[in-house]
Amino acid sequence: MATHAAYMAGTKLSARSVLWSWITTVDHKRIGQLYGVSAFFFFLVGGIEALIMRLQLAQPDGTLVGAQRFNELFTMHGTTMVFLAIMPMSAAFFNFMIPLLIGARDVAFPRLNALSYWVFFSGALLLHLSFLAGAVPDAGWFGYANLTSTQFSPRQSIDFWMLGLQVLGISSLMAGFNFIVTIINMRAPGMTLMRMPLFVWMSFVVQFLVVLAFPAITVALILLMFDRFFGTLFYAPAGGADPLLWQHLFWIFGHPEVYILILPAMGIVSEVLPTFSRKPLFGAPVVIYSGIMIGFFGFGVWSHHMFSVGLGPVADSAFSIATMLIAVPTGVKILNWIATLWGGRVQFSSALYFSLGFIAMFTLGGLSGVMHSSPPVDLQQTDSYFVVAHFHYVLFGGSIFGLFSGVYYWWPKMFGKLLDERLGKVHFWLMMIGFNVTFFPMHFLGLIGMPRRIYTYAPDLGWNFWNMVSTMGAFVIMLSFLVFIWNVIATTRSGAPAPADPWDGRTLEWTIPSPPPVYNFATEPVVHARDDFWVQKHGDGHGTPPRKGAPAAHVDTSSIHMPPPSYWPILLAGALFVMFSGALVSIYQVVGGGLLTLYCMIRFMLEYHHGHDVGHDVGPDVGPAAGGHH
């Protein structure tokens, strides 16, 4: 899909070297595209899993799949959507957009960035090899102990799951550190923290959540690994352990994870609304602080996933209050977004449609969330379809709508083609209708007692009608994504090439061509305001006139130094895969894979020490942003 020629101007490449250039790339834009394509692929996989589940549940006593298969489907659906669809789709935007939004030539550690992607790829592969091995994970995406013990899950299904998640965690941690360093160190001159675009801000918060939350699940998974492989008793009640230890560790990760999934979408919406209402974000500092508050409180609410486990009234009260508190900054953001539209000149692009969809649907998800912040109420709602409705309103109505707003908004920048706006709106309306028809009835189903994760139900419980409605809605959602795919294919083939600034944008990415050249910015931009590009074009509306065109100093772009491609990231990720998958095969493979990993790590580290300056183009660095990779 990508116009690789844009990166290698004037060079015709053979198919083999195209492949080689992709697997050795350290260009943040290409890595972003790799993340995006992988994420969309897994989004479709998770979606197909969901469709099979909806078909099974369309009628009572369904017989399409059996109990075991159904349990595998909901486990893989949840795991896939969280770790292999929404997170990498956000990562696609982190990768592609953050350097462009802060005026940098790449991320701080370009090879580490490639390594993050390939390790992600290994983890996803490992998880899905379980289908070939006939041992698909089946303990739910939050894999509660002690069901995951060898006693109750003797097959290798849980091993695939825990090893896969460990590998994915490594990838997320590396990316997290990379983007923290990138955002702190590589902003263009004049871009103070408070001038930083909102998407970068929300992503910044997310990276801290990643590096602080993933260690919790890493520890939880290591304990589980010890229990399963070495017979320790961390989660075994028979050994005097409390299986709730898993739940605490998991949700200390799991709740911040929810914000890891939603904050990037909030960032996108905070970029799209100002652009299409021709007005700055209303109360940007408050939106930023709210994002930080959400991230901070996100670590103090984990036990609201555990109101029914019997923590006692004091803990229930504390976590209830904390959970209600977190609703305040969230609500504030929603009103700030509406106030951004207020008084604007709202242009209804597809990107804006999806952002509006985000606000409308996320509000509903937030409100049902407030309902189960009250523990007594939660006792009726937890583990029922009401909760299923709630988190799909947050993660589909929120994250997915927000991310697709980003897709329509940044597509021209990423791929150099404009998507068809009419098809975009058809996609939107089908998705909006399908989403609500699928998930709104689940509120009713939960309130009339349907538990989640059941593969079948009796016909006399009053659940039949809404289940059928919900299943029909799921197919409308499927249809909406077919429209999207059609849109991509049609416009890639014969769409209009995108201008540099198709939306009259406000931020730095619109100052450079679409798609951007490999070095992004020929000259390092100097930033004077938030929404600097808008102020450049239109003035700040308070007396400062437009700064007509920054003097187009001629830059010899051949002198720009970019990091060279490297095959060590994919080799290191492959070695890691050999080591981790060895845990399923034999100890020799683990040891062999471990040694291989060590070797690749050393070669990775020493790569630049053999000769110096092996870049594409040797020459003086044109600015601090370009030199960051040494």
Partner 1 sequence: MRKSLLSRIPTALLLLAVALLLSSCGWSMWDSPMTTVRPKSGFGRITHEIFMLISWWTLGIGIAVEAGLLWVCFRYREKPGAPIPKQVHGHTLLEVSWTIVFALILLIFAIPTIPAIFKTQEAPAATALRVDVSGRQWWWEFKYPDLKVVTANELHLPAGQTVAFNLHAPDVIHSFWMPQLGGKRDVVPGRVNRLTLAPDEPGEYPGQCAEYCGTSHANMRFRVIVHTKADFEKWVAAQQRPPVQPTDPLAQKGQDLFSQSACVGCHTIAGISGGVLGPNLTHFGSRKTMGANLLANTPENLAKWIENPGHMKPGVLMPDLGMRGEQSKALAAYLLSLK
The Cα–Cα gap between 587 and 581 comes to: 10
Residues in the chain: 630
Q: In whole angstroms, how close is the CB of 26 to partner 1 at the nearest point?
A: 38
Q: In whole angstroms, how close is the CB of 602 to partner 1 at the nearest point?
A: 44
Catalytic: 530? no
Q: Which range touches partner 1 (CB under 8 A), out of 158-166, 440-448, 551-559, 581-589?
A: 440-448
Q: Which of 17, 347, 558, 559 is the binder for partner 1 (CB under 8 A)?
A: 347
HEC string for 464-500: HHHHHHHHHHHHHHHHHHHHHHHHHHHHHHHCCECCC
Q: Which range touches partner 1 (CB under 8 A), out of 190-198, 373-381, 473-481, 571-579?
A: 373-381
Q: Which residues, numbered 532-551, are part of the site for partner 1 (CB under 8 A)?
A: 538, 540-542
> How far is residue 561 CA from its own chain's centroid?
30
Angle at 172 between CA 170 and CA 174, to 5 degrees: 70
| Active-site position among 149, 172, 323, 438 | 172
Catalytic: 141? yes
Q: Which residues contact 20 (CB under 8 A, 6 or more apart)?
A: none
Catalytic: 106? yes
Q: Which residues, numbered 56-115, are part of the site for partner 1 (CB under 8 A)?
A: 66-68, 71
- Examine residue 146 and tell whether it contacts partner 1 (CB under 8 A): yes
Q: In whole angstroms, how close is the CB of 234 to partner 1 at the nearest point?
A: 13
- Residue 111 or residue 279: which is nearer to partner 1 going by CB? 279
Angle at 195 between CA 189 and CA 200, to 5 degrees: 95
Q: Which range touches partner 1 (CB under 8 A), out of 16-24, 44-52, 117-125, 381-389?
A: 381-389
**Binding flags for partner 1, 279-318, as an x/- string (CB under 8 A):** xx-xxxxx---------------------xxx-xx--xx-
Q: In whole angstroms, how close is the CB of 460 to partner 1 at the nearest point?
A: 7
**Residue 583 near residue 229, CB atoms below 8 Å:** yes
Catalytic: 218? no
- Residue 504 or residue 617: which is nearer to partner 1 going by CB? 504
Catalytic: 77? yes
Catalytic: 610? no
- Residue 95 or residue 382: which is nearer to partner 1 going by CB? 382
- Examine residue 156 and tell whether it contacts partner 1 (CB under 8 A): no
Q: Which of 60, 215, 449, 594 is the binder for partner 1 (CB under 8 A)?
A: 449
Q: Token pair for residue 102?
A: 């802060």
Q: Which of 207, 336, 520, 536 is the binder for partner 1 (CB under 8 A)?
A: 336
The Cα–Cα gap between 350 and 355 comes to: 9
Catalytic: 392? no
| Amino acid letter, 479 | L
- Examine residue 522 and tell whether it contacts partner 1 (CB under 8 A): no
9-18: long-range contacts at Cβ-Cβ below 8 A with a sequence spacing of 24 or more? 9/517
- Examine residue 450 and tell whether it contacts partner 1 (CB under 8 A): yes
| Active-site position among 49, 106, 316, 509 | 106
- Residue 211 or residue 454: which is nearer to partner 1 going by CB? 454
| Active-site position among 29, 248, 304, 561 | 304
For 552, other C-beta atoms within 10 Å of its C-beta total 8
- Residue 215 or residue 449: which is nearer to partner 1 going by CB? 449
Q: In whole angstroms, how close is the CB of 541 to partner 1 at the nearest point?
A: 3
- Examine residue 334 and tell whether it contacts partner 1 (CB under 8 A): yes
Angle at 38 between CA 33 and CA 39, to 5 degrees: 95
Among residues 410, 287, 394, 295, which one has the least CA distance to residue 340?
287
Q: Which range touches partner 1 (CB under 8 A), out of 5-13, 184-192, 443-451, 620-628?
A: 443-451
Q: DSSP assignment, residue 518? A: T
Q: Which residues, numbered 211-240, are part of the site for partner 1 (CB under 8 A)?
A: 237, 240
Place of tokens 């969230």: 330
| Amino acid letter, 174 | M
Can you tell me whether residue 451 is helix, strand or coil?
strand
Catalytic: 308? no
Q: Which of 241, 269, 508, 573 is the binder for partner 1 (CB under 8 A)?
A: 241
Q: In whole angstroms, how close is the CB of 246 to partner 1 at the nearest point?
A: 10
| Per-residue CA distances from 229 to 129, 149, 221, 463, 587 (Å) | 19, 10, 12, 42, 11
The Cα–Cα gap between 43 and 82 comes to: 10
Catalytic: 452? yes
- Examine residue 150 and tell whether it contacts partner 1 (CB under 8 A): no
Among residues 626, 414, 613, 616, which one has the least CA distance to residue 522?
626
Q: Which residues, numbered 254-283, are part of the site for partner 1 (CB under 8 A)?
A: 277-280, 282-283
Q: Which of 33, 122, 130, 436 is the binder for partner 1 (CB under 8 A)?
A: 436
| Active-site position among 69, 425, 452, 453 | 452
The Cα–Cα gap between 515 and 500 comes to: 8
Catalytic: 259? yes
| Per-residue CA distances from 362 to 1, 294, 330, 397 (Å) | 31, 15, 10, 6
Can you tell me whether residue 384 is helix, strand or coil?
strand
Size of the site for partner 1 (CB under 8 A): 105
| Active-site position among 25, 149, 330, 581 | 330
- Residue 467 or residue 520: which is nearer to partner 1 going by CB? 467
Q: Which residues, numbered 457-516, are part of the site for partner 1 (CB under 8 A)?
A: 457-458, 460-463, 465-466
The answer to whether the peptide bond before residue 146 is cis (omega within 30 degrees of 0) is: yes
- Examine residue 378 and tell whether it contacts partner 1 (CB under 8 A): yes
The answer to whether the peptide bond before residue 459 is cis (omega within 30 degrees of 0) is: no
| Per-residue CA distances from 52 to 47, 77, 139, 623 (Å) | 9, 10, 18, 53
- Examine residue 345 and tell whether it contacts partner 1 (CB under 8 A): yes
The catalytic site residues sit at 77, 106, 141, 171-172, 255, 257, 259, 270, 304-305, 330, 333, 452
